[in-house]
Amino acid sequence: MKYKIESILPLGSIQGNYGKLNKYAVKFVGQKNSAEMLMKPDSKVPVVGDSLEGDFISDSKWGLKFKRALSGGFQGQRNDPERQSSIEWQSARRDAVDYCIAKSRLLFDLKKIKEAEEELSGKHIFEVALYFKGIETGATQLKDKKEVPVETDQQSEQTDEDFSDEEVEKLVEKL
């Protein structure tokens, strides 16, 4: 919840478990008592009129405390489409490699050596990764009890024959 600062008074500094912390007595609009708030020395000191997001902790043996809400970290990256796409490609590539290795082992056990080798080609792994990426982004649909890739703006217009083995290897490396 957000609270607006009515008054703030520095109370010195203390040595915490993770280094020096500045101590403040902060009174918020609508609150009877002031609360103690600790901040890192390099943090921007809030001023009267600023709004802080956080919660009050009343069960402290040192009195009422105010704990600010966490900020930064991965929160700013959650909605980054480029990062999300990168994560989906990493997952699709890993799943494709695992799938192709497992299928080639099965084919090898069945004495189908040629098919086992084809499963491990860069081109085939790339095709499987594209398929898995489509599943993760919802770009595939179930049709006649077979999953069929659905053409989306994200997928290339090129067919398998348009890629040389060399191009596929380069694309796989970029993944």
Which pLDDT score, from 0 to 100, does residue 146 have?
A: 45
Which pLDDT score, from 0 to 100, does residue 21 have?
A: 92
CA-to-CA separations, 115 to 23, 100, 172, in angstroms, rounded? 69, 11, 21
The span from the CA of 33 to the CA of 28, in Å, is 8
**DSSP string covering 38-102:** EE-TTSPPP-TT-EEEEEEE---TTS-EEEEPP-STTGGGTT-HHHHHHHHHHHHHHHHHHHHHH
State phi, psi for 164 to the nearest 5 degrees. Answer: -85, 165
List for the chain the helix, strand, coil content (%; round to 5). 40, 30, 35
In the three-class reduction of DSSP (H, G, I as helix; E, B as strand; rest coil), residue 35 is classed as strand
Query: Using an 8 Å Cβ cutoff, are 60 and 35 in contact?
Result: no
The span from the CA of 170 to the CA of 99, in Å, is 20
pLDDT (tens digit, 0 to 9) for every residue of the chain, 175 residues total?
888 999 999 999 999 888 999 999 999 998 888 888 988 999 888 889 988 888 878 767 777 888 888 765 555 556 678 888 888 888 888 888 888 888 888 888 887 888 878 888 888 888 888 888 877 666 654 444 344 444 444 444 444 445 566 766 665 565 4
- Tell me how crowded residue 95 is: count the other CB atoms within 10 A of its CB: 17
> What is the reported pTM?
0.41
| Tens of pLDDT, residues 22-42 | 999 999 998 888 888 988 999
